Structure 1
Amino acid sequence: MQNAFRQLEERSLSAEVLHMCWSPMMDLIALANVNCEVLLQRLTWQKQPVWVLPAPPASDDIIQNVNTLAWRPDGKVLAVGYTSGQMLLCSVENADVLHTVTLTSAITCMQWVATRDLTEEPKGSDRDLFEDGADIFLPKLPPLAKLHSAKVFAEDNVEDAKRLKGQKRLNVLVVGLNEGKIQLYAYGIAAIGEVDMSQVSQQSHSTKEMTCGRITTATLSRDLCSLSLVMESRVDQDPNPTVHLLSLDCVLISSRREELTKFAIQSSKIFTFLEYLSATLRSVSEAREDILLEIETKLTKYAEQKKTAGSVRDELLQLLLWGRASPELQAFLLHELTEKGMKKLGQSVENSYSNIQKLVLKHIHSVGRSLVYHLSELKGMSLWYDKYGVIGLSPPAIQDAIGAVGSFMLKASELLQVLDTSLKNFKAFFRWLYVVMMRLSEEPVPNALNKVRQRDINFIADFLAENFAEDIGGSHQLEKQSGFTLERVGQYLKREDLQFPLTSSVNVESWQSCISTSPNLNSSQLVYKHQPHKSLVQLFESMKESIYTALSKPAVAVGGSIRCCDLLPLYTPDTPKESSEVHQPLTVSKYCHTEMPCFYTVLMMHQAPTQVIYLIRQPNHQAGAQYEAGVICLYFSVLGASNANDSTASQYSNRCNQHEVLDAAFFDDHTLTVLLQEQWSGPDSVAVVCQLPLGPLADHTFLPLTSQDVPLDQRPQISKIDAGLYVSHCRRLDNIKASIFAVSGSRKVSCVLFCNRRRVRLFDMDAEDDGEDESLSERSLLDASNVGIEETRQDESDSNKENIELPR
């Protein structure tokens, strides 16, 4: 029994580790350190991690740390929750941030649940839920390969930027907040539940006024019927918080699983398109050249310093009509603007505007059509009230979102018109001015440039009339910093109203007049509203707000349907120390899908090490359980001594007869893994990792929990069980002072963190020791007194594990 786990690796870390979490599908472990970084390491623990996710930009008034980690059930995405309330979903391949959510308070716990259908072989389980036929009607979006800030859109398959392809079953990310709120996200992206525990608990227990606080654990059953959570709260204005155990009924989620899945798929695609559109607008801003601003500055400076009468526009018009330039204008053209500068300016403006035109035509128009398509799909779903209306889909809200997309697309078309007009005017103006400079400098003018058509003269005259003010720096210049407005495109990319709205043509004015005078057209959902004074960025922000509002309706509706079944006080925690955020008393919960499905919660009342832990069992009433929520108390004396035939157990028992609990975690649905330390006065007291089956513990009598405000440690009726008698496998960890650990039942591995939090030791939990480590023989026990408790580094042990390659 003693040498059941084989040591694999022991490695040092560059910074103190706060949290660890194993991938459920690959031999990878995620670690969060005190620098707010997240590292991904292999089981073989190479010198360099697979990747490092740097700390996000921090606000001046917020100290940001990683509070919790959670893996998607397929192991392809890692969720990271921060004390600032920000949640990131990262790709396991390269740490690309796939999705970002900003919540209202610190994230205190996360758990990603793989749902389970009621039948053994669910219908359509082999079908990719992401594929809905939209690719038949919509063209593929082109990648944004040149934009560094949009790496997830640099691949060919832009539509799957959230890494959802291949999903055959719904999974839900449960997020607990510091202010007593629960958020449920399908696939970690689409909000399908928002629960304010203050309102839920008040509805079920109206006699008490409850102020909800930190959510310690939140666990959702695989059938989505029940939600179990442990929460700190204050009752009836009590200054001391009380830890409560709650059981919530989520019948609407479980009964509308298919509808929520379809809604989540559509929502994830819409979020992808919005982020793609935001990245495209950043590309447009990067493509816009600022060289025109230099010309405007030079023209303004010349207008303020020139001594001749008349405006710059008048001088340029005279130069256009009669070919005569004043000495001041001639000197300005030859020495300030220069012939070389005008040639460079013309090329830069043409390249810039051409790139913007391509981005608008190829990217913005394409993604706009995709948004309208998927929003229309959602609207069609929402009109079926019996299936989708009950989960909160609102046809008016979705229609408002579609209208906002239409207005945005109209503004994008207007930007194209401005680009086309400006490009023609700029070409004619710069060509003419370049020829003038060559003539003033008495250089020969090429025949191709010397020919000026009447249409070009009209373009130039219109350009001068529209972009050069009459009164430079005068009193009639209303809040203008410059009398020149050569650049009309940049105003569309600012978060402010347009300074120079596009002048409507006669046809457009006639159409707008027709709409305003026709009640049917004015109220028609098929006619998108044109907002002439708004910029493209303003309409994009308005469109995002409308879409987010429409997509948030189901979360509110579903959250409002959740009701509280049990509200059970557990204990009053000790007053935390100033820097004890990482060292909160242990609370870990898991839904065990066994013959009798139930929630198991392991609870510590005090910070580790502690003498006892409490094991709470909550039934899933929807699964037909007939018993009440109950609790037993576990302590660990002699490990495995119940087996009289085990000689190693008896030898181990002679060494230490009492243990303290450092940490605990659920290995799988049937086993609890506990990290202990020997409680004796010997100089070589060490830690022990042991496996504790839940089956024998379930046969004991659990004391039913009631609403009485008596702490668990003051209830003498609770059965106190020596859990050491039921330990199936264990291993002493020599030369280590342990603090916490992480285990994975699916991968059969564990990782123990030293007390200094800068060194780890990894074990294979499903293999016998190869005999190289010290056994628990009599000789080793005699030599143990010579072993100090100082942590020493061991050589890398042999391992038969192959390197795990990340998915490409």
Structure 2
Amino acid sequence: MPAFRQVGEKQLPNPVLCMAWSPKRDLIALANTTGELLLHRLASFQRVWSLPPSEFTGKEITALAWRPDGKILAFHLKDTQQVVLCGVEKAEILHVFPMQNSVTCMHWMEVTEESSALSSFYNSEDESKLFLPKLPTLPKSYSTTSKIFSEEKSDEIMNLLGEVRLNVLVLGGDSGFVELFAYGMYKIATLTGVSGSCRSLSLSGDLKSLSVITEVKSADNQLQICYLQLDTCLLSSCLPEVTRMSRKFTHISTLLQYLHLSLTCMCEAWEDILLQMDLRLTKFVQEKNTSTQVQDEFLELLLWGQSSPELQALLMNQLTVKGLKKLGQSIESSYSSIQKLVISHLQSGSEALLYHLSEVRGMSLWKQKFEPLGLDAAALEGAITAVGSFSLKANELLQVIDKSMKNFKAFFRWLYVAMLRMCEEHVPPELNKMTQKDIAFVADFLSEHFSENEELFDRKGKYFNVERVGQYLKDEDEDLVSPPNTKGNQWLRFLQESAHLKESPLLFPSFPQKSLHFVKRMMEGVIEQCLQKPAEVIGQSVTQAVFLPLYTVPESSENTPRLFELPSLWNDKKNRMHHVVFCMPEVSPCKVFLLRRGTDPLRHIPHSVISMDLSRPLEAEEDAAAQPHQVYSCMDARFYDDEMLTVVLQVSEEEGRRRVLAQLPLSAALSNEEGEEFSWEPGLRLDQQSGSVPCQSLVLGNQWRELENMKAQFVAVNGIRKVACVLSGNLRHIRVFEMDVEDEDEEGGESQNASADQEVLESSMTSEGPEGKEEEGGNKMEEQLESEEALDIS
């Protein structure tokens, strides 16, 4: 009976470019050539959801990685140069950030080290919840492009950050581009000095080193595969400080996005006002063809209660009583929306930003701990001042809105009564009373809004100016057209007359001539500098510890999808080692090579380079004589766990090439310490000295299975979940296996497998293809996924 139980098979309509197993659940993510991201469940390979390409997401996914807790997928889009974080539960885009370079590989790791300093930090992490109100969710009616703040949950940032333990998303790309993002969101390091283009990378669980496989062009124009080990000791030695700083800065960068989206909502609410104004009042003003100004005619109506026949005709025909009432309600509603957004969103977001920045400034004063990471107390002081100025400007906007609402209400109420009188309709007694204050509000409204000063209003209705609030929301560098009148403000007069307080650093500057957008951009610029400096400082501390040229790239592999191509990296957390597996088909076609390095660059590993010989039968030695001699070559290899390698082997035979899925035990190869250790000759590639590499023969026993009717070429595995996914050379044919099957389950498993295979076969013979069956159970799968979300499946 063959080893491994097949649990699913599918012919996919589009070639697969990336595939990755979830670290926590029986889910596999696939990205295809159309830019679609698919999530499949292990059972019968059912689809859970698909995220189609769009204008926002892009159409070419070049790299894919799971967050260690299995709740978020990260992927890179080549055409839009963005990294996207997608929630697994509902296929929602949670966060997007732009990249300067194209990303070719990703690795998302979790720190395994613990310390007493970290434990105390974990316990105190949620203190901000005691002091800060929960951020209100953004209105869903507006076209915000982020889902982080539009959910009804109130702790969006904490949900996005996940567990307190530090995790790092490592991105690598062309021209030696490598960046590290704490929690997948905050950039903690930009590395320089990496030669070549990254093909694979792995950050060790103790943060001591980063292993990178790069493609370097040599002097004779040959592409060489090289192994680099970068010393990241600053991250490991300052782990508690890096964790604390990363979480704080992730909060800060997310709050900046929250404020940006809140302001976007305010601008959209303001656009509603402008549309209403332009359609009604501006058209009304423009159609007036008398020589007198509209302002004068309205003042005449206000003072004497009489209007010209033309104004009366325009009011009754253009605006109408019903239209005026509707317009007044619409404008009042838009003003209220802006006012609520300022009070609940801008002010609460600014308070949270001030709180977190003040805490980071406190951290920066502990220079022994945080200065090596690039925290600058003076720069953070400037950031706190900028946030204070933004809060002052938001408060100023509230006062302007309050005054404008009073004027608007008084004007519309007065005009509504005047039009009712023109129609000779009954005027309700509560509307008939006009105090001197109300008349002053209407006069203010007329003098402010109906004007022939073209500088005040540059839209198509140049005679109608509603810029008192809108000028604050304009994303322009120009000064305010109508700055607030500060005459009679006793506090400002006191400040101007006080020599000591005039230039005091304790007072936030108010920028009376500038818009809210201008102050926000200034604040973002100052905070961005604080956010970016640690990435530069930490990046500069990283040094290259090891550089080993392995082999030249064979021409046959030029068109191979790079995500599946060897070498493969593995981070052995238990033994604190980086493992690299690779093949050199042009030098040693029947061998698999293993390179081992300690995560501590100074640690010596005996037998750091070994090879495993595959040129023998799969059966045990006593059966070898009865078997024809077969030659095996390795198509693909992935680390199943610290002691096992999953490989796809090709068997060369006269009647054709068979493919085999097998498990190679590394323990046998690594335990033989008697052989002579390989000594690397400097200046030579490994393929030029491969004959000196110690070689071990392997016996697989029953740990293999022939892959019938499939030109298998690539494999993706997850040793924690004990699963493997085999992909054919045309990137469309997939088979899924459970690797460790209990004996008592095998018989039932085989029959289940046979029925599953039969179902796939039947569906593939129908006109709708295998995808038709898959959609049928889509909703059930999604419900099942959501119901399991609360369970911690280990």
TM-score normalized by the length of structure 2: 0.87
Residues 184, 295 of structure 1: alpha-carbon distance in 2 compared, 3 angstrom cutoff: closer
Instruction: Provide the residue aligned with 1:749 in structure 2.
Output: 723
Q: Distance in 2 between matches of 1:519 and 1:610?
A: 81
8 Å CA contact 2:179–2:191 kept in 1: the answer is: yes
Give the alignment partner of residue 143 of structure 1, picking from 125, 133, 137.
137
Deviation at 1:767, TM superposition (A): 0.9
Q: Contact 2:568/2:580 (CA < 8 Å) preserved in 1?
A: yes
Q: Judging changes above 3 Å, is the alpha-carbon distance between structure 1 residues 143 and 70 closer, same or farther for their aligned structure 2 residues? A: same
Q: Which residue of 1 aligns with 2:77?
A: 82
User: Of the candidates 339, 342, 353, which is equivalent to residue 360 of structure 1?
Assistant: 342
Give the structure 1 partner of residue 66 of structure 2: 71
1:254-293 correspondence to structure 2 within 5 Å: 254-288=236-270, 290-293=272-275
Q: Which moved more, 1:279-288 or 1:575-584?
A: 575-584
Count residues with an aligned counterpart.
755
Name 1:559's counterpart in structure 2.
539
Q: Percent sequence identity over matched residues?
A: 40
Give the aligned partner of residue 460 of structure 1: 442
Check 1:104–1:608 CA distance in 2 against 1; reply closer, same or farther (3 A cut): farther
Give the distance between the partners of 1:97 and 1:609, measured in 2 at CA.
45
Say which is worse superposed, 280-289 or 257-266, in terms of deviation. Answer: 280-289
User: Deviation of residue 500 (structure 1)?
Assistant: 2.7
Distance 1:464 1:650, change over 3 A: farther
User: Which residue in the other structure is 1:187 paired with?
Assistant: 183
Deviations 1:190-238 (CA, angstroms, capped at 9, x unpaired) = 222210125xxxxxxxxxxxxx3311112112111111111123467x6
Matched, 1:446 2:428: yes
Partners of 1:404 and 1:624 lie apart in 2 by 48
Q: 1:275 to 1:706 in 2, by over 3 A?
A: farther
Tell me the equivalent position of 2:660: 688
User: What's 2:621 paired with?
Assistant: 644
1:152 aligns with 2:148: yes
The one of 391, 395, 418 aligned to 1:409? 391
Cα shift at 1:390: 1.1
Residue 761 of structure 1 is matched in structure 2 by 735
Q: Which secondary structure state, in structure 2, belongs to the residue aligned with residue 158 of structure 1?
A: coil
Residue correspondence of structure 1 range 657-672 to structure 2 within 5 A: 657-672=630-645
AA aligned to 1:28 is L
Tell me the equivalent position of 1:620.
599
What amino acid is aligned across from residue 658 of structure 1 in structure 2?
V
- Counterpart-to-counterpart distance in 2, 1:512 and 1:21: 65
Give me the whole-angstrom Cα distance separating, in 2, the residues matched to 1:240 and 1:548: 41
Whole-angstrom distance in 2 between the partners of 1:547 and 1:349: 35
Q: Does 2:316 correspond to 1:334?
A: yes
Separation (CA, whole Å) in 2 of partners of 1:35 and 1:608: 36
Q: Look up the match of 2:577.
A: 598
Q: Which secondary structure state, in structure 1, belongs to the residue aligned with residue 691 of structure 2?
A: coil
Conserved in 2, the CA contact under 8 Å of 1:303 and 1:311? no
Return the offset for 1:256: 0.2
Q: Residue 615 of structure 1: SS of its match in structure 2?
A: strand
> Partner amino acid for 1:670?
E
CA distance in 2, matches of 1:156, 1:696: 54
1:675 aligns with: 648
Cα pair 1:672 1:692 within 8 Å, conserved: yes
SS in 1 for 2:24: coil
Mapping 1:729-744, distance limit 5 Å: 729-744=703-718
- SS of aligned partner of 1:405: helix
Amino acid of the structure 1 residue aligned with 2:621: A
8 Å CA contact retained: 1:145, 1:155: no
Counterpart Cα distance in 2 of 1:169 and 1:440: 72
Q: CA deviation at 1:745?
A: 0.5
Q: Distance in 2 between the 1:398 and 1:677 partners?
A: 60
- Where does residue 55 of structure 2 map in the other structure? 57
What secondary structure sits across from 2:468 in the alignment?
Answer: coil
Partners of 2:363 and 2:224 in 1: how far apart?
44
Kindly indicate whether the alpha-carbon contact (under 8 Å) linking 1:79 and 1:89 is maintained by their aligned counterparts in 2: yes
CA contact (8 A) 2:18 2:64 kept: yes
Select which of 170, 173, 176 maps to 1:177. 173
Deviation sequence 1:762-801 (CA, Å, 0-9, x none): 11111157358999xxxxxxxxxxxxxxx9999x9xxxx9
Q: Does 1:215 align with 2:198?
A: yes
What is the letter of the counterpart of residue 715 of structure 1?
A: Q
Query: For 1:56 and 1:704, how far apart are their aligned partners in 2?
Result: 53
Letter in 1 for 2:53: A
Correspondence for 2:19: 20
Map of 2:687 onto structure 1: 713
What is the rounded CA distance, in whole Å, between the counterparts of 1:517 and 1:578 in structure 2? 74
Offset at residue 145 of structure 1 (A): 5.8
8 Å contact kept, 1:128–1:165: no
Q: Tell me the residue number matched to 2:213.
A: 230
Partner of 1:569: 549
Counterpart-to-counterpart distance in 2, 1:622 and 1:479: 65
Q: Note closer, same or farther for the CA distance 1:118–1:370 as it changes in structure 2 (3 Å cut).
A: closer
Would the alpha carbon gap of residues 604 and 320 (structure 1) be closer, same or farther in structure 2, given more than 3 Å must change? farther
**Partners of 1:577 and 1:7 in 2: CA distance:** 29
Separation in structure 1 between the aligned mates of residue 480 and residue 34 of structure 2, nearest angstrom: 46
1:422-476 Cα offsets, whole Å, 9 max, x none, are 11111111111122222222323222222221111111111111111135x7xx8
How far apart are the structure 2 equivalents of 1:565 and 1:308? 84
Distance 1:160 1:727, change over 3 A: farther
Over residues 484-509 of structure 1, what are the superposed CA-to-partner deviations in whole Å (9 max), with x where a residue is unaligned? 11353333333114543332322548
Residue equivalent to 1:506 = 487
Partner residue of 2:511?
Answer: 531
CA distance in 1, matches of 2:500, 2:590: 77
Residue 242 of structure 1 is aligned with which of 193, 216, 224? 224
Q: Does 1:40 align with 2:35?
A: no
Is there any run of 5+ residues in structure 1 with no aligned partner, and where?
Answer: 199-211, 776-790
- Any stretches of 5+ residues in structure 2 without a counterpart? 752-763, 774-780
Say if 1:568 and 1:705, in contact at 8 Å, map to a contact too: no
Amino acid at match of 2:678: L
The answer to whether the Cα contact below 8 Å between 1:687 and 1:734 also exists between their aligned partners in 2 is: yes
Of 433-442 and 581-590, more deviation after overlay is shown by 581-590
In structure 2, the partner of 1:319 is 301
Quote how far apart the aligned CAs of 1:252 are. 0.8
- Decide whether aligned partners of structure 1 residues 153 and 620 sit closer, same or farther in structure 2, where only a CA change above 3 A counts: closer
1:204 counterpart residue number: none
Q: CA deviation at 1:749?
A: 0.5
CA contact (8 A) 2:103 2:173 kept: yes
**Does the 8 A contact of 1:3 with 1:768 survive in 2?**
no
Q: Counterparts of 1:83-122 in structure 2 under 5 Å?
A: 83-84=78-79, 85-117=81-113
Check whether the contact 1:313–1:470 (CA below 8 A) recurs between aligned residues.
no
Tell me the residue number matched to 1:435: 417
Partner Cα separation in structure 1 for residue 308 and residue 556 of structure 2:
80
Q: What is the identity, as a one-letter code, of the residue corresponding to 1:214?
A: S
- What is the match of residue 781 of structure 1? none
Q: Distance in 1 between matches of 2:267 and 2:261?
A: 10
3-state DSSP of counterpart to 2:580: strand
**Partner secondary structure for residue 762 of structure 1:** strand
